A and B are shown apart, each in its own frame.
Chain A
Amino acid sequence: MSDLFDRPAAGSAKSAPLVGDDCEPTLFEFASPGRRAYSLRTTGIPEWTATELIPAEHLREDPLELTEVSERDLVGHFTRLAHRQYSVDLGAYPLGSCTMKYNPKTCDEAAGMRSFAGVHPETPAHAVQGWMQILVELEEALCTITGMAAATLQPAAGAAGELTGLLLMRAYHAANDDVRTRVIIPDSAHGTNPASVTLGGYEVTTVGSDDRGFVDVDQLRAALGTDVAGIMLTNPNTLGLFEEDIVEIAKMVHEVGGLLYYDGANLNPILGVVRPGDMGFDIVNMNLHKTFATPHGGGGPGAGPVAVSKRLVEFLPGPRPVRSNDRESTFELLFPPKSIGRVHSYYGNALVLLRAWTYIRLNGADGLRRIADMAVLNANWLREQLRGTYDFPYDRPVMHECVVSVSGLKRATGMRALDVAKRLLEFGFHSPTVYFPLIVDEALMIEPTETESPETVAAIARALIEIAHEALASASAGEALRSAQAPRSTPVRRVDEARAARKLVSTFDAR
């Protein structure tokens, strides 16, 4: 372990005060009949009764009971819930493949501007030229970054982008009267990939990884045929490794008439370094809530634009905002001739797209490249700190994240990847992704991102090393593992997941 950067880590939440240790009651338990928070405009409209307005057969007999609380109590409740929630603003979030970087506040302010947020999606195109400009410029920037010809911004998240990509594949082959039934996915792929393939009407063919952690080219060659619609790849892959054979893979897939789909979950470390279009990809999905710093909202909203090469542009979802030659407007809406149709009611998660536009403007070409450099530097530096303590199943330089294994420590001490993850919470850091990718035993997938300082990355490394040493010491002393009881400093301790599933209580009324 290096003794560099042994200063206080700004990314540790260990000092976060958590007052008290009671549970927070639900909003329903606070209800008191007659108490209220709302107030509405004075309208001056005649106060017809419900039965004067709507036939009695349609009216409910009993009121719809929600809750009855004061504004002050509403604020208290949700503020206390906020205090029971970890977030990037609180501390480092090295969750592999999730790219939990800092989200600039100015992007949130942009999304709150009434001139954008107050626009109804059915407003005629000539009256929303500002929005059209944002969408067109974002599309152009994303195409420049990925090396593609055009993009749709409609998909609302990564999985929606995947399905859109598969439907584009389907439309492309159908237009060539070419019936294809299979899509190839490596065994290290994200779980959304195979689920999307099924919804796209294809069968999944899985190919394995070789001993370097790359797609096994021989297995791929054997799996390829003229019934293959395409392949879905993440590059860098979920081991954090750059697929060095990508050019050969692209050539092989194209030779049988298949298309290459790029899962953009891991785009962050290649910004300005190498472009999916130049690697040979035909369809590129991006997660703006990862690479382009739009906040993840505790599980959404995201945005999953899909960029395509020239031969697929005519199939893109419509309507598309495009530059116009019309004198009245600079931008207009176009439905591509062979469009697969709409994949969203309107233009996608517009306010998320606006945040990404703002982020790209702020960073520019120079800032985006610096993001890639520092994301990769942090990941490799962190990994080297862990050498000798954790196992490196695929020992190669990484890109944005590193995957280490707890299997050796587990054999020696009984400590599992889950225990390490839970114990790390007590050091004030969010856990890494655990047990993924599936091809690594007892995996910890760690993505520090570029916005964590070297001090923070060093503190994460020190914590992981201390957890390992502590387990070894406990094991040799024949004592119980401290990590097995972790976390103890959090609002609740480990939860009984089996009970939640066995005895389902998913609403207050089911209690």
Chain B
Amino acid sequence: MPDFVPHTQHDIGEMLSFLGLESTEDLFAVVPPAIRLAGGLDLPMGISEADVTEQLYSIGAMNASVGVGGSGLVCFAGGGSYDHEVPAVTRALAGRSEFVTAYTPYQPEVAQGVLQALFEYQTFISRITGLEISNSSLYDGSAALVEGVNLAVAESGDSRVIVSSGVHPRWRGVLETFAAGTGHQLEVVPLNNGLTDWASVEGTNAGCVVVGYPNYLGAIESLSSARELADRLGALLVVCQDPVAAGLLKSPGELGADVVVGEAQAFGTALSFGGPYLGFFACHHRLVRRLPGRLVGETVDLDDKRSYVTTLRAREQDIRREKASSNVCTNETLMAVTAAIQLGWLGTQGIREIALAGARAARYGLQRLTEIPGVQPSCTAPIFREFSVKLPIPASLAIDRLLDEGYLAGIALLDGFEGTPYEGDLLIAFTERRTKSEIDSFADALTKVITR
């Protein structure tokens, strides 16, 4: 086995004798004998790096992964996890061990690298969301949503939470789990032709209104309608934004959002079987004292040199303890640094280009797929880069059959869509990585599997 511990037998002997001990066992004299583990851990002995690598390759071979150049699946699945371009430069820079193996920047004098990268990340997120304040990351989209709702309830003092059913069903699931502790009352609003049916919301007050932009079905919601409802109820508006859409669509901040949250895996992080991803969180500056997680601010050092430091720390759990704005400590800094690199690579032209390319591919895909007999769109609301269709066979069966043809066809709308007109439909996503020939072949393969 490899040895990550540098101590030689001689070292150990010297150190023990300095401590007046005879064996390493004596180091644990403080552990009551009755509970000590006899006989060691019931695990295999350590093995070499080469042996572990052999195992990893054979275990990895049992996964159907998304590929490049025909080496794996062509990905049409999205739902918050997208197959975007990740260039070599992003991987190389984000993989630098100075970023990878640092701890939270507690000593700013030796952490300016991570702190400045986070300051740049916060600037990007602020521009993407159209809000002044961005924190330096949360675990993922679902965690960011939970924190957004917690902030809105704390600010409004009203625990009634109105959630569009166009919000990511798994994020809604997580929201529900944590509501058991906070006591928030969640109400889910149905969709009508792909867009949230706000008119069905009753009552005169609420703490928070949550909407997807675009929503989980890919449809572009009217944020002004959501804002009107929030105003009528005296609630804060929390928007779950697909940040790639910002390349083309108006920003949620411009349209009246108080808080914008979402998943930024699209900016340089691999599909990763769902994690680690990158939850982003932005809010209006009047809410900054309730911001969850870490915030980097600019300042100067003793010599008046520009410097960065984590700031407004009085909100945080290690200082305020049970009165903190959130319990978040470790977040997803490395993914935020990755996003800053990727957004630098994309730049002003690139973010527009990938948004436009995704929208074009979706338009082309919609045309091609709905030419297939029995395939029709679930709704006619305007879309960005994702849409759902009704198939003549169950979506999960189509997905299984298309795996054999080399495609990850999309997501079957099941959990979170029970009893809705969309249940059993297939959600299909497009990015700048999908080409005409891939979409043509996918349409042919879908035709084949539904007529089989």
Interface membership of B232, Cβ < 8 A: no
Stretch from B33-41, B189-197, B203-211, B372-380 at the A interface: B33-41
A340 touches B177 (CB 8 A): yes
Q: For A63, what are the chain B residues with a Cβ–Cβ distance below 8 Å? A: 348, 352
B274 touches A121 (CB 8 A): yes
Task: Give complex CA distance A344, B272 in Å.
Answer: 14
Residue in contact with A74 in the complex, picked from B12, B344, B359, CB distance below 8 Å: B344
**Residues of B within 8 A of A (CB-CB), count:** 207
Task: Give complex CA distance A511, B122 in Å.
Answer: 13
Stretch from B126-134, B233-241, B443-451 at the A interface: B126-134
Task: Give complex CA distance A74, B40 in Å.
Answer: 50
Q: For A59, what are the chain B residues with a Cβ–Cβ distance below 8 Å? A: 248-250
Chain B positions 263 through 285: 1 when the CB is less than 8 Å from some CB of chain A, otherwise 0:
00000001111111100000000
A23 touches B43 (CB 8 A): no
A362 touches B49 (CB 8 A): yes
Residue in contact with A54 in the complex, picked from B220, B273, B330, CB distance below 8 Å: B220
Residue picked from B46, B180, B275, most chain A C-beta under 10 Å: B275
Task: Give complex CA distance A167, B171 in Å.
Answer: 17
Interface membership of A254, Cβ < 8 A: no
Residue of B nearest to A243 (CB): B30
Known: A341-B173, A347-B274. A120 touches B66 (CB 8 A): yes
Task: Give complex CA distance A272, B350 in Å.
Answer: 52
B332 touches A297 (CB 8 A): yes
Q: For B439, what are the chain A residues with a Cβ–Cβ distance below 8 Å? A: 45
Residue in contact with B357 in the complex, picked from A43, A163, A271, CB distance below 8 Å: A43
A500 touches B297 (CB 8 A): yes
B301 touches A114 (CB 8 A): no
Residue of B nearest to A43 (CB): B435
Q: For A407, what are the chain B residues with a Cβ–Cβ distance below 8 Å? A: none
Residue in contact with B351 in the complex, picked from A26, A64, A103, CB distance below 8 Å: A64
Known: A53-B360, A64-B247. A120 touches B81 (CB 8 A): yes
Interface membership of A477, Cβ < 8 A: no
Task: With both chains docked as a complex, state the minimum distance between the C-beta of B28 and any C-beta of chain A, in angstroms.
Answer: 5
Residue in contact with A244 in the complex, picked from B32, B61, B333, CB distance below 8 Å: B32
Task: With both chains docked as a complex, state the minimum distance between the C-beta of A152 and any C-beta of chain B, in angstroms.
Answer: 11
Task: Give complex CA distance A124, B409 in Å.
Answer: 11
A297 touches B109 (CB 8 A): no
Q: For A71, what are the chain B residues with a Cβ–Cβ distance below 8 Å? A: 89, 345
Residue of A nearest to B295 (CB): A506
Interface membership of B119, Cβ < 8 A: yes
Task: With both chains docked as a complex, state the minimum distance between the C-beta of A312 and any C-beta of chain B, in angstroms.
Answer: 15
A366 touches B330 (CB 8 A): no
Interface membership of B434, Cβ < 8 A: yes
A85 touches B46 (CB 8 A): no
B113 touches A81 (CB 8 A): yes
B327 touches A247 (CB 8 A): no
Interface membership of A454, Cβ < 8 A: yes
A68 touches B183 (CB 8 A): no
Residue in contact with B77 in the complex, picked from A88, A123, A141, A364, CB distance below 8 Å: A123
B432 touches A40 (CB 8 A): yes
Interface membership of A225, Cβ < 8 A: no
Interface membership of A481, Cβ < 8 A: no
Interface membership of B261, Cβ < 8 A: no
Known: A170-B180, A397-B29. A68 touches B348 (CB 8 A): yes
Q: Using a CB-CB cutoff of 8 Å, which residues 298-338 of chain A contact chain B?
A: 298-302, 317
B103 touches A167 (CB 8 A): no
Task: With both chains docked as a complex, state the minimum distance between the C-beta of A211 and any C-beta of chain B, in angstroms.
Answer: 16
Interface membership of B309, Cβ < 8 A: yes
B101 touches A430 (CB 8 A): no
Task: Give complex CA distance A113, B95 in Å.
Answer: 14
B322 touches A194 (CB 8 A): yes
B181 touches A170 (CB 8 A): yes
Interface membership of B96, Cβ < 8 A: yes
Task: Give complex CA distance A198, B322 in Å.
Answer: 6
Q: For A271, what are the chain B residues with a Cβ–Cβ distance below 8 Å? A: 41
Stretch from A216-224, A409-417, A486-494 at the B interface: A486-494
Chain A contact patch, size range: 35 or more
Interface membership of A19, Cβ < 8 A: no
B98 touches A82 (CB 8 A): yes
Residue of B nearest to A341 (CB): B177
Task: With both chains docked as a complex, state the minimum distance between the C-beta of B314 and any C-beta of chain A, in angstroms.
Answer: 8
Residue of A nearest to B66 (CB): A118
A344 touches B139 (CB 8 A): yes
B396 touches A124 (CB 8 A): yes
Task: Give complex CA distance A64, B100 in Å.
Answer: 29
Task: Give complex CA distance A485, B109 in Å.
Answer: 12
Known: A296-B102, A298-B114. A41 touches B348 (CB 8 A): no
Q: For A509, what are the chain B residues with a Cβ–Cβ distance below 8 Å? A: 123, 126-127, 132
Residue of B nearest to A116 (CB): B60
B59 touches A194 (CB 8 A): no
Interface membership of A209, Cβ < 8 A: no
Known: A41-B433, A300-B333. A501 touches B63 (CB 8 A): no
B27 touches A490 (CB 8 A): no
Residue in contact with B123 in the complex, picked from A41, A61, A370, A507, CB distance below 8 Å: A507
Residue of A nearest to B104 (CB): A299
Chain B positions 289 through 328: 1 when the CB is less than 8 Å from some CB of chain A, otherwise 0:
0000011111111110111110111101111111110111
Interface membership of A374, Cβ < 8 A: yes
Interface membership of B143, Cβ < 8 A: yes
Interface membership of B151, Cβ < 8 A: no
Task: Give complex CA distance A454, B18 in Å.
Answer: 12
Task: Give complex CA distance A5, B7 in Å.
Answer: 11
Task: With both chains docked as a complex, state the minimum distance between the C-beta of A142 and any C-beta of chain B, in angstroms.
Answer: 10
B123 touches A119 (CB 8 A): no
Q: For A430, what are the chain B residues with a Cβ–Cβ distance below 8 Å? A: 103, 107, 110
Interface membership of A256, Cβ < 8 A: no
Nearest 8 CB-CB pairings of A with B? A346-B274, A85-B113, A297-B334, A115-B60, A121-B274, A364-B46, A301-B276, A299-B333
14 contacts between A and B (CB under 8 A): A45-B364, A67-B343, A81-B116, A89-B100, A89-B101, A123-B63, A157-B329, A171-B180, A190-B318, A200-B181, A278-B37, A351-B270, A487-B110, A506-B133
Please name 10 further chain A to chain B contacts, defined as beta carbons within 8 Å, in addition to the given A300-B139, A506-B295, sorted by A numbering.
Answer: A60-B248, A68-B349, A86-B111, A160-B143, A167-B178, A274-B36, A345-B171, A347-B274, A351-B272, A370-B3
